[in-house]
C-alpha cells in the first residue's frame, strides 16, 4: 500500500520510517526544500534512538522517499497522514494554520478516493474541520474519508512505541476507511496489540486525556516532593511505594523541575482552552499546569539555597538542556527557564 505523510517533523518522520519498516511504500512530504534534500541523503533534523538506522534502511530498500512535490505525493497515495505541527497559539488555543494548509492542499490535488488520517494532536472537532476545508478546496467533488489516528510516541523511545505500542487508537465512521487503517497496522495484530476503534471525536479526546493525565502525575509527585523537603521525608521512597500499587503505576512519578517538550505543556493548555469554550472548567488540568510552572521557580530556590542564599558572583555549570534524556528537543525545556 502506498501512503503519504504530510510533514517531516518528529511525528511524521518517525511514523513514515516505521510504516516503511512495516513494508509500506511511504512518501514523506514537506515544503522546506533543504530539509527534504538532507533527508534524501539520510541527514536527520532530529535525534531519536534507532531512527537513523530505520531511515537508512528505508532509503536503501526503496520503501521510503522524500519529496516537496505535494501533488505527486497525494496522487500516488491511498492513505494520507497529516503530521504537521500544531503549536500553542494565544491563550492556550491550538494554532491550526498548518493543518488547515495541508487540508487545503489535499483538496486541491486529490483526484480519486483517499483516506485522510490525522496524527497531529488537534482539538476535538478537527476531523469535521478538515472535511469542510478539503471539500471547499476541491475543484470538483471527490469522495474521501477522514480518520483520527493519534500518536502516543515518547521522545527517546518513539521507535519502540510505534513498533510495540500499548494500544492503537483509530477513530472513524466509515467502515471501508477503518478496514484500510487496520491493514496498515496489520503487523501489530501479530503481537496482539490492543486496538481501540471509535469515532473521530472520541479518538481526538483520547489523546488529550492521556497526555493531561500523565502531566498531572508529574505535577502531583512534584508537589509531594516539595512537602517531603519540608517534613524531611524521602520522596523517592514515597514514589516507589505508591508506584508499586498497580492502580497507580510507577511511571511518571519522578520528582524534578517539571514537564516540558512539545506535547505536555501545549496539550494541557489546549485541553483547558477548548474545554472552556465548551463551557467546562477543568480544574485538575489547570492546576497541573500551574504547579508545573511553579516548580521551575522552586528549582531556582533550591539552587540559590545550595549556593548560600545568592547566585551573585557564582559560576554555575549546566549539564543538559533538553527536556528529557535521549532527545535533543529543548522546546519548553525547564532548564532554559531556570537558567
Return the active site residues.
Answer: 263
Q: Please check if 324 is assigned to a binding site.
A: yes
Q: Please check if 253 is assigned to a binding site.
A: yes
Q: Please check if 97 is assigned to a binding site.
A: no
Beta strands 2-6 and 79-82: pairing type? parallel
The 3-class SS string of 89-158 reads: CHHHCECCHHHHHHHHHHHHHCCCCEEEEECCCCCCCHHHHHHHHHHHHCCCCCCEEEEECCCCCCCCCH
Q: Please check if 254 is assigned to a binding site.
A: yes
**What is the C-alpha to C-alpha distance for residues 109 and 323, in angstroms, rounded to an integer?**
39
Strand partners, 26: 3, 64
Q: Please check if 35 is assigned to a binding site.
A: yes
Give the closest residue to 26 by CA, choosing from 8, 48, 44. 8
Q: Please check if 63 is assigned to a binding site.
A: no
Q: Please check if 78 is assigned to a binding site.
A: no
Show the cell assigned to 149: 489516528
Q: Please check if 252 is assigned to a binding site.
A: yes
Angle, CA 174 vertex, CA 191 and CA 81 arms, to 5°: 65
Angle, CA 325 vertex, CA 290 and CA 45 arms, to 5°: 100
Q: Please check if 207 is assigned to a binding site.
A: yes
Q: Please check if 7 is assigned to a binding site.
A: no
Q: Please check if 266 is assigned to a binding site.
A: yes
**Residue numbering of the annotated binding site for NAD(+):** 30, 35, 86, 121, 155, 266, 331
**Residue numbering of the annotated binding site:** 30, 35, 86, 121, 152-155, 207, 252-256, 260, 266, 324, 331
**Residue numbering of the annotated binding site for substrate:** 152-155, 207, 252-256, 260, 324
Amino acid at each position: 500500500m502506498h501512503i503519504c505523510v504530510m510533514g517531516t517533523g518528529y511525528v511524521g518522520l518517525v511514523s513514515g520510517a516505521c510504516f516503511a519498516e512495516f513494508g509500506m511504500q511511504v512518501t514523506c512530504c514537506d515544503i522546506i526544500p533543504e530539509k527534504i534534500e538532507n533527508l534524501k541523503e539520510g541527514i536527520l533534523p532530529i535525534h531519536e534512538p534507532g531512527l537513523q538506522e530505520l531511515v537508512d534502511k528505508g532509503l536503501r530498500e526503496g520503501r521510503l522517499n522524500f519529496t516537496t512535490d505535494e501533488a505527486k505525493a497525494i496522487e500516488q497515495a491511498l492513505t494520507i497522514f497529516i503530521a504537521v505541527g500544531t503549536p500553542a497559539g494565544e491563550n492556550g488555543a491550538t494554532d491550526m494554520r498548518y493543518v488547515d494548509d495541508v487540508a487545503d492542499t489535499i483538496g486541491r490535488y486529490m483526484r480519486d478516493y483517499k483516506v485522510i488520517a490525522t496524527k497531529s494532536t488537534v482539538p476535538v472537532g478537527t476531523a469535521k474541520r478538515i472535511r469542510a476545508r478539503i471539500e471547499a478546496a476541491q475543484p470538483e467533488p471527490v469522495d474521501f474519508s477522514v480518520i483520527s489516528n493519534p500518536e502516543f510516541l515518547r521522545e527517546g523511545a518513539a521507535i519502540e512505541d510505534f513498533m510495540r505500542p500499548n494500544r492503537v487508537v483509530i477513530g472513524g465512521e466509515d467502515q471501508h476507511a477503518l478496514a484500510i487503517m487496520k491493514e496498515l497496522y496489520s503487523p501489530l495484530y501479530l503481537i496482539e496489540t490492543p486496538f481501540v476503534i471509535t469515532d473521530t471525536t472520541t479518538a481526538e479526546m483520547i489523546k488529550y486525556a492521556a497526555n493531561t493525565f500523565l502531566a498531572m502525575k508529574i505535577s502531583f509527585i512534584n508537589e509531594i516532593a516539595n512537602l517531603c523537603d519540608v517534613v524531611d521525608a524521602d520522596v523517592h521512597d514515597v514514589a516507589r511505594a505508591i508506584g508499586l500499587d498497580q492502580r497507580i503505576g510507577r511511571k511518571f512519578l519522578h520528582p524534578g523541575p517539571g514537564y516540558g517538550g512539545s506535547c505536555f505543556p501545549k496539550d494541557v493548555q489546549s485541553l483547558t482552552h477548548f474545554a472552556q469554550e465548551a463551557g467546562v472548567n477543568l480544574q485538575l488540568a489547570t492546576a497541573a499546569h500551574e504547579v508545573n510552572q511553579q516548580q521551575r521557580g522552586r528549582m531556582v530556590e533550591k539552587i540559590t539555597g545550595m549556593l548560600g542564599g545568592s547566585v551573585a558572583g557564582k559560576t554555575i555549570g549546566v549539564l543538559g538542556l533538553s527536556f528529557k534524556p535521549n532527545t535533543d528537543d529543548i522546546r519548553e525545556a525547564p532548564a532554559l527557564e531556570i537558567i
